[in-house]
Structure 1
Amino acid sequence: MNASTLVFCAFTFFYLATGTLFSQDKELTQTGLEQVVAGDFREFRGKKIGLITNQTGVDRKGRHVADLFKQAANVNLVALFGPEHGIRGSAEAGASVGHQVDSATGLPVYSLYGATRKPTREMLQGIDALVFDIQDVGARFYTYISTMALAVEAAAETNIEMYVLDRPNPLGDRVAGPVLDPKHRSFVGIHPIALQHGMTTGELARMFLGERWIYSDDTTKSVNRSWSKLHVIPVTGWRRQVLAASDINWIPPSPNIPTLATTLVYPGVCLLEATNVSEGRGTHEPFLMFGAPWIDSDALAKHLQAEAEGIALTPISFTPVDLPGMAMNPKYEGEKCHGLKLRVTDSAKFAPVKFGVALLVAFQQLYPNEFKMRPEGMARLSGVAWVYEMITANESSAAVWKRIEQDAEKFREQRQPYLLYK
């Protein structure tokens, strides 16, 4: 039994024994952070801590993880590390973030989305344990899991402990989408997992270590490969279901994922980023609407109706504009776009990646002259070259989806040993 499994079992036993869990009818979902607070930070006493977090690292009462660690007795929080969008989540997507000092705690904040994306040995000097507490959205190309993967590598290289304070995957258990081809590895696809992986950050960390992917880079060749100091502090009261707004204190994880509803469509609609169709950036509902000046909204809605299980499609027109903190210079800035607005009506039936593929195929069929995809961009987002190749060869959405499902089925089996929740 490895270290992360031992920690998981110990925490689960503790909270069952102390009666913290509610009845089986309705258990209160408690994040890893809330488990740590309830356990009085016993795992971290006497240690110097480096904390990787952002604005999502809060408990049900709205208390931030940095403040809680800073105030905890006999716990020495010495440094903060910020991912894409920064420690408070205000930077735009893709914008480089510099080192700074956190005004709330007075601690140094090392940016992991600037000159370096991996904690350096200098940054980790004197630190006993790295702690990761960030809410993910369940899609491979969302960069927080890449930040976590590199942090696990850094912990292994420096032989320090790594803790993941787990949080629910808002998309639940469903697996979909191609598994990343390592040839297309990037910061929006760091390890060979499915596009919609159906795993929590803690489970992913276990997989990254268990599959020995953290040793695949040339920079990790000198790492002690017996390193086993990864610990996952589990979520309780969550059964791999799609997250409801009442389950946890939901904080938007980035400026363009403002609501839980956005997360439900994001894994599919985000594929439009590699096309000349607006994915809704430059509006206050990105990913919940999309369009282009040359689209016939009614015709598109009619064409997609058979693919719209669990989702309502409403023809819409919108004009993307600069929105400081959300989108600068969005596609078709100042131009009127026509497209669709999305509303998920049944999250159990709606399959976002399948719908995203249907969108790409529909645009290729309806607008072969106007619609453009960037092959490199589509390979980075989808994780493979063949999605672009099949669509431009005018394959049906059913044919593309069949191949995607073959990929996903292999990943479902591969991930099984690393799952922590029923």
Structure 2
Amino acid sequence: MYLMRLFLKSFFLFFLVSCESEIPAQENQMNQQKENVAVKLEKPIVVGAEQLDSIQLFLQSKKVGVVGNQTSRVGETHLVDTLLSSGINVVKVYSPEHGFRGKADAGEHVASDKDAKTGLPIVSLYGSNKKPSANQLSGVEVLLFDLQDVGARFYTYISTLHYIMEAAAENGIEVLVLDRPNPNGHYVDGPIRKKGYESFVGMHPIPIVHGMTVGEIAQMINGEKWLKNGVQCKLKVISCLNYDRHMPYSLPVAPSPNLRSDEAIQLYPGLCLFEGTSLSVGRGTDRPFEVYGHPDLKGKPGFDYNFTPVSSFGSKNPKHKDQVCYGENLHDYVRNSKVNKLEIQWLIKAYNALGSEDFFITKNRWFDILAGTDQLRKDIISGKSEAEIRAGWKAGLDVFKTMRKEYLIYGGGNLK
């Protein structure tokens, strides 16, 4: 009996010691896992333009045309300057809307000229010359595309991408896309552009917020054979490293003159629809695409904020110039909650407050062209709720999300 009690005591003591020794080991393992996650999260995003070894390997001994603007940077240095200093034979530059240095107003004519710093010829791809001609591509073997997009269908850089790919396919030229994060890449939402509403602000049958990077869109354009006559270009994408589409991403350079803040970029997909109405989105103020308003909203409940658009950089002739507009300042809305859907609540609210027949700009179907359909305008006029309007998008979004999965580089195929 004594021996039995001694055995039980010894076993119990051994058990306690063993458990105590395992607890620190488990804690250390969990701490190590947390440290590994932290290290992973701390790795900086490396955009395509920063992967110079891969770029040089692809461009070596080739004559290169660069499609770029002020966002085409490697650190603090413009991509063109970086390529030239690395011995890459850049022979021509192609500039999109807003110009090579990004100083032109939205829709303003951008002339072709020469880059003052490098002397390289600049071919404007906006206005009447959206697609480079065979003559303008003469002497070019590779077209390098590096533009920072913001993830909205009507932001015209992906339209420029389309025409670049189409011209390249028709002229036997390779296309190299240097990918960058999409600051609105964490969700997919909005009406699909319907047939009959094609334009430079809606070239593809995709929703307003597509949740894809430029590299992913390029693969979709090629794969779905959306180029003229179904042609496909020889395409290579240098993707971002350490990037996930759910990561917050603050753009180091404003992608266009009126998208000057992270807040404006998040609000842009929803507020840009106001461009097809009689309301101002703050062009000509220090908060473009963070506010909206109209002179006739004065005194109406919920529209206490006021601003006065004036002629200024990025907006020489803003809507309601020199008139006091009343509306809302949405800056704090974004700071307090991340935008994760196409915000149409303000559009509905403003329409219900004004109730005027000229609320929507119907000349040249401008609102409908931006929306990619006439249904959104009709739904708002008929008094449908936001939930009812969204329900009408679901079938199209489901089809798009299924198609989209094939072209994703960074996961996120199950985005809501």
Q: Which residue pairs with 1:266 in the alignment?
A: 268
Q: 3-state DSSP class of the match of 1:182? A: coil
Select 1:203's aligned residue among 203, 211, 216: 216
Q: Which residue pairs with 1:238 in the alignment?
A: 243
User: Given that residues 277 and 371 in structure 1 are in contact (C-alpha distance below 8 angstroms), is that contact kept between their aligned partners in structure 2?
Assistant: no
**Cα offset for 1:70?**
1.3
Instruction: Measure the CA separation in 1 of the matches of 2:211 and 2:80.
Output: 27
| TM-superposition CA deviations, 1:79-111 (whole Å, max 9, x none) | 000000000001111011111000111100000
Q: Which residue pairs with 1:5 in the alignment?
A: none
User: Given that residues 50 and 77 in structure 1 are in contact (C-alpha distance below 8 angstroms), is that contact kept between their aligned partners in structure 2?
Assistant: yes
Q: Which residue pairs with 1:332 in the alignment?
A: 320
The alignment-based identity, stated in percent, is 37
Structure 1 residues 54 and 228, CA gap change in structure 2 (3 angstroms): closer
Q: Which residue pairs with 2:28 in the alignment?
A: none
Q: Which amino acid aligns with 1:292?
A: H
User: Given that residues 180 and 382 in structure 1 are in contact (C-alpha distance below 8 angstroms), is that contact kept between their aligned partners in structure 2?
Assistant: yes
| TM-superposition CA deviations, 1:311-340 (whole Å, max 9, x none) | xxxx411111111x3112212111111111
Instruction: Measure the CA separation in 2 of the matches of 1:347 and 1:80.
Output: 40
Q: Which residue pairs with 1:317 in the alignment?
A: 306
Q: Which residue pairs with 2:356 in the alignment?
A: 369
1:213-252 to structure 2, matched below 5 A, reads: 213-215=226-228, 221=229, 225=231, 227-245=232-250, 250-252=252-254
Computing the radius of gyration from Cα coordinates, the structure with the larger value is 2
Q: 3-state DSSP class of the match of 2:377? A: helix
Select 1:30's aligned residue among 40, 46, 50: 46
User: Given that residues 70 and 105 in structure 1 are in contact (C-alpha distance below 8 angstroms), is that contact kept between their aligned partners in structure 2?
Assistant: no
User: Given that residues 32 and 233 in structure 1 are in contact (C-alpha distance below 8 angstroms), is that contact kept between their aligned partners in structure 2?
Assistant: yes
User: Given that residues 364 and 394 in structure 1 are in contact (C-alpha distance below 8 angstroms), is that contact kept between their aligned partners in structure 2?
Assistant: no
Q: Which has the higher contact order (CA 8 A, sep 6+)?
A: 1
Q: Which residue pairs with 2:335 in the alignment?
A: 345
**Cα offset for 1:42?**
1.1
**Cα offset for 1:142?**
0.6
Select 1:292's aligned residue among 278, 289, 294: 294
User: Given that residues 310 and 317 in structure 2 are in contact (C-alpha distance below 8 angstroms), is that contact kept between their aligned partners in structure 1?
Assistant: yes
| TM-superposition CA deviations, 1:346-379 (whole Å, max 9, x none) | 554x2452x2x21222123222137611241111
Q: 3-state DSSP class of the match of 2:292? A: strand
1:30-179 to structure 2, matched below 5 A, reads: 30-35=46-51, 37-39=52-54, 41-59=56-74, 61-73=75-87, 75-179=88-192
User: Given that residues 300 and 353 in structure 2 are in contact (C-alpha distance below 8 angstroms), is that contact kept between their aligned partners in structure 1?
Assistant: no
Q: 3-state DSSP class of the match of 1:345? A: helix
Q: Which residue pairs with 1:15 in the alignment?
A: none
Q: Which residue pairs with 1:255 in the alignment?
A: 257
Q: Which amino acid aligns with 2:335?
A: T
User: Given that residues 187 and 341 in structure 2 are in contact (C-alpha distance below 8 angstroms), is that contact kept between their aligned partners in structure 1?
Assistant: no
**Cα offset for 1:167?**
0.3
Instruction: Measure the CA separation in 2 of the matches of 1:89 and 1:142.
Output: 14
| TM-superposition CA deviations, 1:181-224 (whole Å, max 9, x none) | 13110000111111001000000000001000013xxxxx4x7x
Select 2:387's aligned residue among 398, 404, 407: 398
Q: Which residue pairs with 2:375 in the alignment?
A: 386
User: Given that residues 168 and 233 in structure 2 are in contact (C-alpha distance below 8 angstroms), is that contact kept between their aligned partners in structure 1?
Assistant: no
| TM-superposition CA deviations, 1:383-421 (whole Å, max 9, x none) | 111011111112122211211233222211111100000
Q: 3-state DSSP class of the match of 1:359? A: helix
Instruction: Measure the CA separation in 1 of the matches of 2:356 and 2:255.
Output: 36
Select 1:186's aligned residue among 188, 193, 199: 199
1:12-31 to structure 2, matched below 5 A, reads: 23-31=39-47
Q: Which amino acid aligns with 2:350?
A: F
Q: Which amino acid aligns with 2:154?
A: F
Structure 1 residues 405 and 65, CA gap change in structure 2 (3 angstroms): same
Please state if 1:417 is matched with 2:406: yes
User: Given that residues 165 and 233 in structure 2 are in contact (C-alpha distance below 8 angstroms), is that contact kept between their aligned partners in structure 1?
Assistant: no
**Unmatched 5+ residue regions in structure 1?**
1-21, 216-220, 302-314
**Unmatched 5+ residue regions in structure 2?**
1-37, 412-416
Q: Which amino acid aligns with 1:203?
A: E
| TM-superposition CA deviations, 1:51-71 (whole Å, max 9, x none) | 000000012x21111111112
Structure 1 residues 200 and 297, CA gap change in structure 2 (3 angstroms): farther
Q: Which amino acid aligns with 2:236?
A: H
Select 1:283's aligned residue among 251, 274, 285: 285
Instruction: Measure the CA separation in 2 of the matches of 1:189 and 1:267.
Output: 13
**Cα offset for 1:297?**
6.8
Which moved further from structure 2: 233-242 or 196-205? Answer: 233-242
The TM-score normalised by the length of structure 1 is 0.84
Structure 1 residues 292 and 40, CA gap change in structure 2 (3 angstroms): closer
Q: How many residues align?
A: 370
Instruction: Measure the CA separation in 2 of the matches of 1:25 and 1:33.
Output: 21
Q: 3-state DSSP class of the match of 1:377? A: helix
Please report the RMSD computed on the Cα atoms of aligned residues, expressed in angstroms: 1.8
Q: Which amino acid aligns with 2:309?
A: P
User: Given that residues 65 and 140 in structure 2 are in contact (C-alpha distance below 8 angstroms), is that contact kept between their aligned partners in structure 1?
Assistant: yes
Instruction: Measure the CA separation in 2 of the matches of 1:39 and 1:273.
Output: 41
Q: 3-state DSSP class of the match of 1:24? A: helix
